[in-house]
Amino acid sequence: MNILVTGGAGYIGSHTCVSLLEAGHSVIVIDNLNNSNLETLEKVKQLTNKDLTFYQMDATNEAAIDQVFLNHKIDGVIHFAGYKAVGESVKKPLEYYQNNLVSTMVLTSACQRHGVNRIVFSSSATVYGDNQVPFIETMNLLPTTNPYGESKTISERILTDAAKANTNFSIALLRYFNPVGAHESGLIGEAPNGIPNNLMPYVTQVAKGKREKLNVFGNDYPTVDGTGVRDYIHVMDLAEGHVAALENLTEGVHIYNLGSGKGTSVFELIHAFEEANGVTIPYEIVDRRLGDIAASYADVSKAKLELGWEAKRDIKAMCRDAWNFEKNYVEMTIAK
């Protein structure tokens, strides 16, 4: 299939391009390079020994998107493009709603106009809010604590309504849990700008000596050891989950949790990282982070049953590959 990948130069998008190319699909990437670099796509080509088409453009630009649909016979779209920093979304709600919602609407209406029915959307476990674990697709969603999370909940609703009106649409709403790690080669991975918000990139920067110690946000949660529990998923497993969703989609809207199904605490992750990589991660317990929940992990049975997909790589592999990428990573300039 010819697959249009928005945000394909980003962290999850670039790994998914690798999996798509390896599975024999053709890839057309659009990305405005707001949070990524062209070099990443060169590495995707190098890794797969395959070519892809790239357009530097904004996913909210309706005329430009239309032109891409005219230039190519597109069979499906994976929509990654968007802003993703939770804290920043509280400070810049309008930018987040503008980028994340308008891109979803522009893309969906372009699909409608051009008769492209397969759409895979990057949602997030954050839409569950502070629900009872494990999170399952049939749960009622609870309010999230920030505009980023709300933009995902609203995007899901927009796509669901679009599919009610156009019964040819086959839409997958993929709720990612906590993507971590990097391609096994260490050539592509996660390279956040500035101080990382997320645990794994913070840990790898501590291991590298770029940061002095990890701040552990609270050890008084009702969890196995008091620290926050999350469902970490290797980014290559996540990438393969997109290919499975795309290839197995049927008409209507289908929601899938993409996670490992296992909860890992902050302390457990630190220990797994130390063991996998033979390094020490100094840490300090500090106050809870505002808006954090105690535990988030997935019920993953639906994706396994309907897509024949499940995560294969364990927490040690995630830690090893995250560190392998960070060790080799030389900072690149982000084109703004």
Where along the sequence are the contacts to ligand UDP (CB under 6 A)? 178, 197-199, 202, 214-217, 228, 230, 266, 289, 292, 296
The stretch among 18-26, 31-39, 68-76, 127-135 that binds ligand NAD (CB under 6 A) is 31-39
Binning the chain into helix, strand and coil, the percentages to the nearest 5 are 40, 20, 40
| Exposure string for 79-90, b = 16+ CB within 10 A, e = fewer | bbbbbbbbebbe
Residues 133-192 that bind ligand NAD (CB under 6 A): 176, 179
Whether 117 and 170 have beta carbons less than 8 Å apart is answered as: yes
- The answer to whether residue 264 forms part of the interface with ligand NAD (CB under 6 A) is no
Token digits for 323? 């560190």
| C-alpha to C-alpha distances, 278 to 51, 171, 284, 319, 320, nearest whole angstrom | 37, 43, 20, 11, 10
CA 336 vs CA 14, 32, 34, 50, 180: distances in Å: 18, 9, 5, 27, 25
Q: Does residue 124 touch ligand NAD according to CB under 6 A?
A: yes
Stretch that binds ligand NAD, among 8-16, 249-257, 274-282, 295-303 (CB under 6 A): 8-16
Using CA atoms, how far apart are residues 99 and 81, in angstroms rounded to an integer?
A: 8
Paired residues of 284 in beta bridges: 215
Alpha carbon distance 269, 88 (integer Å): 25
Nearer to ligand NAD, 65 or 162 (CB): 65
Q: Which does 13 bind (CB under 5 to 8 A by kind): ligand UDP, ligand NAD, none?
A: ligand NAD
Q: 60 contacts which partner out of ligand UDP, ligand NAD, none, CB within 5 to 8 A by kind?
A: ligand NAD
Among ligand NAD, ligand UDP, none, residue 134 binds (CB under 5-8 Å by kind): none
Separation between Cα atoms, residue 33 and residue 7, nearest integer Å: 8
CA distance 62 to 106: 6
Other CB atoms within a 10 A radius of the CB of residue 222 amount to 8
Report the nearest approach of ligand UDP to the CB of residue 161 (Å).
Answer: 27
Least distance CB 95 / ligand UDP (angstroms): 19
Return the one option of ligand UDP, ligand NAD, none that residue 242 interacts with (CB less than 5 to 8 A, by type).
none
Is residue 260 within the footprint of ligand NAD (CB under 6 A)?
Answer: no
CB of 260 to ligand UDP, least distance (A): 13
Binding-site partner at residue 23 among ligand UDP, ligand NAD, none, CB < 5 to 8 Å by type:
none
Q: Which is nearer to ligand NAD, 162 or 180 (CB)?
A: 180
For the CB of residue 130, give the shortest distance to ligand UDP in the complex, in Å. Answer: 12
Tell me the C-alpha distance between 25 and 99, whole Å.
28
Give the interface segment with ligand NAD, choosing from 32-40, 265-273, 304-312, 315-323 (CB under 6 A): 32-40
Q: How far apart are CA 230 and CA 178, in angstroms?
A: 7
* Residue 59-98 contact track with ligand NAD, rule CB under 6 A, x = bound: xx-------------------xxx-x--------------
Q: How many CB atoms lie within 10 A of CB 109?
A: 14
* Shortest Å, Cβ 23 to ligand NAD: 19
Q: For residues 274 and 320, is the Cβ–Cβ distance under 8 A?
A: no
By C-beta, is 76 or 263 nearer to ligand UDP? 263
Residue 331 to residue 208: CA distance in whole angstroms:
13
> Shortest gap between Cβ of 167 and ligand NAD (angstroms)?
26
Give me the active site residues, please: 148
Tell me the one-letter amino acid at 32.
N
Give yes or no for a contact between 26 and 69, defined as CB atoms under 8 angstroms apart.
no
Kindly list the residues in this chain that would bind ligand NAD in the complex (CB under 6 A).
Answer: 6-7, 9-13, 30-36, 58-60, 80-82, 84, 99, 103, 122, 124, 176, 179
